[in-house]
Amino acid sequence: MSANTKTLKVALLGAGNVGSQVARILLTDASALAARTGARLELVGIAVRNVDAPREVEIPRELFTTDASALIRKADIVIELMGGLEPARTLILEAIEHGATVVTGNKALLAVDGPTLYEKADAAGVQLSYEAAVAGAIPILRPITDSLAGDKITRVMGIVNGTTNFILDAMDSTGAEFADALAEATRLGYAEADPTADVEGHDAAAKGAILASLAFHTRFALEDVHCEGITGVSAGDIAAAKEAGYVIKLLAIAEKISVPTGGQNNDDGGTFTTGVSVRVHPTLIPREHPLGAVRGAYNAVFVEAESAGELMFYGRGAGGSPTASAVMGDVVSAARRLVLGGPGRSDSTIEVLPVLGIDAVKTRYYIGMDAADQPGVLSKISALFAENGVSIETMRQTVHRERDASENGSAASAELRIVTHRASEAALAATVEAINGLDIINSVTSVLRVEGV
Amino acid sequence: MSANTKTLKVALLGAGNVGSQVARILLTDASALAARTGARLELVGIAVRNVDAPREVEIPRELFTTDASALIRKADIVIELMGGLEPARTLILEAIEHGATVVTGNKALLAVDGPTLYEKADAAGVQLSYEAAVAGAIPILRPITDSLAGDKITRVMGIVNGTTNFILDAMDSTGAEFADALAEATRLGYAEADPTADVEGHDAAAKGAILASLAFHTRFALEDVHCEGITGVSAGDIAAAKEAGYVIKLLAIAEKISVPTGGQNNDDGGTFTTGVSVRVHPTLIPREHPLGAVRGAYNAVFVEAESAGELMFYGRGAGGSPTASAVMGDVVSAARRLVLGGPGRSDSTIEVLPVLGIDAVKTRYYIGMDAADQPGVLSKISALFAENGVSIETMRQTVHRERDASENGSAASAELRIVTHRASEAALAATVEAINGLDIINSVTSVLRVEGV
């Protein structure tokens, strides 16, 4: 490195799981980073709540400070890895005002306040990068914004929460019930003590909103995302899916949809409006689908584009080192820009598409039900589907005969499993309601969406 | 678009499978491209050998010209999609001299002359992009050069040839022999009339050289790549691999290796040199490995990095539209840079690591052999492995008894399948030679490398 190499001052906010790994890379890989950026990246300080807290990585004590604002004013690049809404939001705004390049991995904040933060950064002419906020180590933001910039994305389906993928994968391999698989995930450190944000799909919804914003050049907020978690998925659902050649995954799905301009049910004419919907729910996908091979706590994002066809990006979605890799990719890009000038990873011009609700979505459905074993059950049920405009693709019936102490000698019940063609949420809900009203039906045991076929 | 929007003149060289799709996108998606780049991309001409040849896409006849040099002199961006070495090389050099940004998908040329072309482009201060040259539509160059710029890649394993993956996948699913699977691939258009470049691994080797250059910031040429094709893979190999939980894939593998500075066999002390080796060969990988799920003509690149861990990028490796998507990603990036100024997708500083040959590589091996069914065979063979310093991990013996018309009543042979621990090419070769010299061995039926375990 020549004597007149530029120095860029880097401030780190937070020294937790990810922050401490970012500090490690900045401190130990200094010469490789200098070779790749053309600048010396000097870690000028790390803002933490408690200077004396134990850390995973050995970091010189004099780097720690509790005064984040003072640290930000010294920095060319500010890396925010505190997580949570506050003080992260205030400190990012301070960094933008100060003119520093900001790198963050804070998906919760971006999902809630992303649009405001992007606008403030644009207005101030500073870069705000956030590769680490979606799917951890997996490079997904640059492929979407740069590599696919000449193509048109039609759909994105992501396994973006490692905890729920670990639980569903364990249920699939061992036949365990949800509660037992969750307990195992907690024991192994894949689930937090309070797993609500993961198992209810809130974390996946936040990442879905960010992914959708990128893929469709339209800004989404968390409340635009339809969200269902995995707490209702039973061992029986998993077993039935497996038997039919499917695997159940929690997917965040963002897709472009055309709906009749006059309203959702005005199917028979007029003009169409194109919008985007984002939803998170447990989904049946064929076992041989690329997303079906994503095991354990791994993440993957499956992208469909007009010219490229099907693409998938796979890797670790969480963890200190993997997430630090994504953060450092943003830091190196930011440093190259600061050294060489010019634009950065440019967001495409924002093309505001209407945000559509779950009622605009048509998917295939899987419906499991427990019926009486009587002649005519199949015809009654299929008539009900037809009346509600839902077309059946496959129907399987398994009869269980149980010995019974009653006078009748034996009772019998039939397990019915139906996969439909594409139907709207409303049509499906009406069908399920009507089925529940039949006296020959003991219960509807599961209603799940099917994708990837 | 405002009246003073900049116009960038685009010249296309070649209107084949990929070129005609690029022309289609430039002609039909003009307004979306303008929104994303901030410039109008004007297709000023398409250089072809025969103006009147039939095309897949309807293109105004006046765009065609046979004078490629004159066309280049009019252009801001030159897209080379002619393929082959000449006249592609000369025309790319003309474009560089003229100061135009160059986008190419020409892997054959880059594998042979990449280093020269990159240097000429650097010296002239123009951008040379080539995302389409590796793994078709899969965004891999930007993830490696930008997203992983703050990390250290240790290994890259790619399924980078769709024809051979289609053939091996067909052999795996149907039990077909190589010749039949190749005939099927030819019939379906997945293999060319002369499939040599694909089935002998030459195409994969060219892509491996480009991938390795990117991943390790070191420049490789085609002759640095050890290359074995799939023509020797038998239905028996596939079946034996399947039984043991493996699938056979043609992989291009580039990895960082430390070897004793004093020489390959100087294992017991001294200093070590780090270098990079690139090799292409049929490989056994566990069926549950992410690369194991890559079916049909799909491609995938599996990357191991120090912090990020394991990543995989999956998609279509060939075809007009998918490859055109990758070309257009480069064109949009190039246009943004020309509009906004500044650096482009920057190659990291080149860090010249030594290029290592196949003799520096240690892998696990799978060896299949046909032995006499006699007492003591296993102990003789395992002694031979030990003498040659190759450690056995698993050994399976299957005895086949066949009725025989001879006086002995029945003859018997044993099929032996051995998987070794990591061993050098030299140690393995010596072992196989020694085994072939045993009179109790009828034949060594296969020697294949094992990865991903």
Torsion of CA B153, B155, B161, B164, to 10 degrees: -160
Determine the residue type at A227.
Answer: C
Q: Do B139 and A148 touch (CB under 8 A)?
A: yes
The 10 Å Cβ neighbour count of residue A382 is: 13
Chain A positions in Cβ-Cβ contact with residue B151 (cut-off 8 Å): 325, 328-329
Task: Please tell me the distance from the alpha carbon of residue B15 to that of residue B327, in angstroms, as a whole number.
Answer: 13
Higher pLDDT, B446 or A250: A250
Chain A positions in Cβ-Cβ contact with residue B348 (cut-off 8 Å): 35-36
Indicate the SS3 state at residue B363. strand
Residue B138 corresponds to which tokens in the numbers above? Answer: 């899969």
B235 marked among binding-site residues: no
B436 marked among binding-site residues: no
Instruction: Tell the CATH topology of B362-450.
Output: Alpha-Beta Plaits (3.30.70)
Average per-residue pLDDT for chain B: 88
pLDDT in tens, chain A (453 residues): 444 578 999 999 999 989 999 999 999 998 888 888 888 999 999 999 999 888 878 899 999 999 999 999 999 999 999 999 999 999 999 999 999 999 999 988 988 888 889 889 988 989 899 999 988 889 888 888 888 888 999 999 999 999 999 999 999 999 999 999 999 999 998 898 899 999 999 999 999 998 988 888 777 878 889 999 999 999 999 998 998 899 999 999 999 988 887 665 555 567 888 889 999 999 999 998 999 999 999 999 999 999 999 999 999 988 899 999 999 999 998 898 888 765 544 444 456 677 788 888 899 999 999 988 888 888 889 899 999 999 998 888 888 766 554 545 456 788 888 999 999 989 999 999 999 998 889 999 889 999 988
Give the gyration radius of chain B's Cα atoms.
Answer: 25
Task: Please tell me the distance from the alpha carbon of residue B292 to that of residue B248, in angstroms, as a whole number.
Answer: 8
The reported pLDDT for the residue numbered B265 is 54
Task: Please tell me the distance from the alpha carbon of residue A228 to that of residue A211, in angstroms, as a whole number.
Answer: 18
Indicate the SS3 state at residue A83. coil
Determine the residue type at A149.
Answer: A
Indicate the SS3 state at residue A328. helix
Task: Please tell me the distance from the alpha carbon of residue A334 to that of residue B419, in angstroms, as a whole number.
Answer: 47
Q: Do B152 and A29 touch (CB under 8 A)?
A: yes
Rounded percentage of chain B residues whose pLDDT exceeds 70? 92
| Residue among A228, A226, A247, A227 nearest A168 (CA) | A247
B279 DSSP β-pair partners? B226, B253
The 10 Å Cβ neighbour count of residue B257 is: 18
The reported pLDDT for the residue numbered B269 is 62
Q: Do B314 and A312 touch (CB under 8 A)?
A: yes
Residue B2, pLDDT > 70, answer no
- Give the gap in angstroms from C-alpha B100 to the nearest C-alpha of chain A: 19
> Beta strands B309-316 and B298-305: pairing type?
antiparallel
Give the gyration radius of chain A's Cα atoms.
Answer: 25
Residue A371 corresponds to which tokens in the numbers above? Answer: 């019926």
- Give the gap in angstroms from C-alpha B448 to the nearest C-alpha of chain A: 25
B221 marked among binding-site residues: no
The reported pLDDT for the residue numbered A32 is 85
> Beta strands B39-47 and B6-13: pairing type?
parallel
B377 marked among binding-site residues: no
DSSP A11-54: EEE--SHHHHHHHHHHHHSHHHHHHHHSEEEEEEEEE-S-TTS-
Give yes or no for a contact between B129 and B102, defined as CB atoms under 8 angstroms apart.
Answer: yes
Q: Do B351 and A35 touch (CB under 8 A)?
A: yes
CB hemisphere CA count around B41 (13 angstroms)? 32
| Residue among B448, B450, B367, B379 nearest B415 (CA) | B367
Task: State the residue for tokens 């549950």.
Answer: B288
| Residue among A248, A244, A215 nearest A229 (CA) | A248
Rounded mean pLDDT, B147-161 = 92
Task: Please tell me the distance from the alpha carbon of residue B289 to that of residue A318, in angstroms, as a whole number.
Answer: 20
The reported pLDDT for the residue numbered B122 is 87
Q: Do A308 and B322 touch (CB under 8 A)?
A: yes
DSSP annotation of B421: S
Non-local CB neighbours of B222 within 8 Å, separated by 6+ positions: B111, B112, B205, B206, B209
pLDDT band at B344 (very low <50, low <70, confident <90, very high): very low
Determine the residue type at B194.
Answer: D
Alpha-carbon distances, residue A327 vs A32, A161, A321, A324, B200 (angstroms): 16, 18, 10, 5, 40
Non-local CB neighbours of A181 within 8 Å, separated by 6+ positions: A166, A167, A168, A170, A171, A174
The size of chain A, in residues, is 453
Q: Which of B330, B337, B349 sits opposite A36 (nearest CB)?
A: B349
Residue A418 corresponds to which tokens in the numbers above? Answer: 């139906």
| Residue among B245, B190, B278 nearest B366 (CA) | B245
Residue B268, pLDDT > 60, answer no
Which segments of A48-137 does DSSP mark as H helices, in order?
A: 68-72, 88-98, 107-124
Task: State the residue for tokens 């990291």.
Answer: B348
| Residue among B155, B169, B365 nearest B248 (CA) | B169
Non-local CB neighbours of A11 within 8 Å, separated by 6+ positions: A44, A45, A46, A47, A71, A72, A74, A75, A77, A78, A79, A100
Task: Please tell me the distance from the alpha carbon of residue B396 to that of residue B93, in angstroms, as a whole number.
Answer: 57
Give yes or no for a contact between B401 and B414, defined as CB atoms under 8 angstroms apart.
Answer: no
Task: Please tell me the distance from the alpha carbon of residue A262 to that of residue A278, in angstroms, as a whole number.
Answer: 21
Chain B positions in Cβ-Cβ contact with residue A38 (cut-off 8 Å): 349
pLDDT band at B141 (very low <50, low <70, confident <90, very high): confident
Residue B206, pLDDT > 50, answer yes
What architecture is the B6-129 domain classified under in CATH? 3-Layer(aba) Sandwich (3.40)
Q: Which of A147, A292, A329 sits opposite B139 (nearest CB)?
A: A147
Task: Please tell me the distance from the alpha carbon of residue B401 to that of residue B411, in angstroms, as a whole number.
Answer: 6
| Residue among B255, B308, B251, B310 nearest B284 (CA) | B251
The 10 Å Cβ neighbour count of residue A199 is: 22
B341: left (phi over 0), alpha (psi -120 to 50) or beta: left
Give yes or no for a contact between A213 and A219, defined as CB atoms under 8 angstroms apart.
Answer: yes
B20 marked among binding-site residues: yes
Task: State the residue for tokens 């020309």.
Answer: B338
Give yes or no for a contact between A26 and A41, defined as CB atoms under 8 angstroms apart.
Answer: yes
B177 marked among binding-site residues: no
Determine the residue type at A238.
Answer: I
> Beta strands A298-305 and A309-316: pairing type?
antiparallel
Chain B positions in Cβ-Cβ contact with residue A346 (cut-off 8 Å): 336, 340
What architecture is the A141-317+353-358 domain classified under in CATH? 2-Layer Sandwich (3.30)
Residue among B151, B249, B289 with most chain A CBs within 10 A, to mutate: B151
Q: Which of A29, A309, A345 sits opposite B137 (nearest CB)?
A: A309
**Would you kindly state where each structural domain of chain A is located, as residue ranges?**
6-129, 141-317+353-358, 361-450
| Residue among A248, A229, A251, A250 nearest A238 (CA) | A248
> For B275-334, how does the pLDDT look when each residue is reduced to its tens digit (9 = 90+)?
899 999 999 999 989 999 999 999 999 999 999 999 999 999 888 999 999 999 999 988
> Is the bond preceding B87 in cis, omega lying within 30 degrees of 0?
yes
Rounded (10°) angle between helices A107-124 and A88-98: 20
> For B125-136, how does the pLDDT look when each residue is reduced to its tens digit (9 = 90+)?
898 999 899 888
Task: Please tell me the distance from the alpha carbon of residue A118 to that of residue A378, in angstroms, as a whole number.
Answer: 55
Task: Please tell me the distance from the alpha carbon of residue A238 to that of residue A173, in angstroms, as a whole number.
Answer: 10
The reported pLDDT for the residue numbered B398 is 82
The reported pLDDT for the residue numbered A1 is 45
Q: Which of B38, B138, B148 sits opposite A329 (nearest CB)?
A: B148
Give yes or no for a contact between B64 and B33, defined as CB atoms under 8 angstroms apart.
Answer: no
Task: Please tell me the distance from the alpha carbon of residue B341 to that of residue A38, in angstroms, as a whole number.
Answer: 18
> Beta strands B272-286 and B309-316: pairing type?
unpaired
CATH (one of 3.40.920.10, 3.30.1340.10, 3.30.70.260, 3.90.1150.10) for A361-450: 3.30.70.260
Q: Do A342 and B346 touch (CB under 8 A)?
A: no
The reported pLDDT for the residue numbered A265 is 54
Q: Do B312 and A312 touch (CB under 8 A)?
A: yes
**Residues of A with catalytic roles:** 207
Indicate the SS3 state at residue B377. helix
The reported pLDDT for the residue numbered A264 is 52
> For A83-115, how does the pLDDT look when each residue is reduced to its tens digit (9 = 90+)?
999 999 999 999 999 999 999 999 889 888 888
Backbone dihedral angles phi then psi of residue B327, each to the nearest 5 degrees: -60, -45
> For A248-306, how does the pLDDT look when each residue is reduced to its tens digit (9 = 90+)?
999 999 999 888 876 655 555 678 888 899 999 999 999 989 999 999 999 999 999 99
- Give the gap in angstroms from C-alpha B68 to the nearest C-alpha of chain A: 24
> Is the bond preceding B143 in cis, omega lying within 30 degrees of 0?
no
DSSP A163-188: HHHHHHHHHHHH---HHHHHHHHHHT
| Residue among A19, A6, A9 nearest A49 (CA) | A19
Task: Please tell me the distance from the alpha carbon of residue B239 to that of residue A219, in angstroms, as a whole number.
Answer: 51
Give yes or no for a contact between A230 and A164, defined as CB atoms under 8 angstroms apart.
Answer: yes
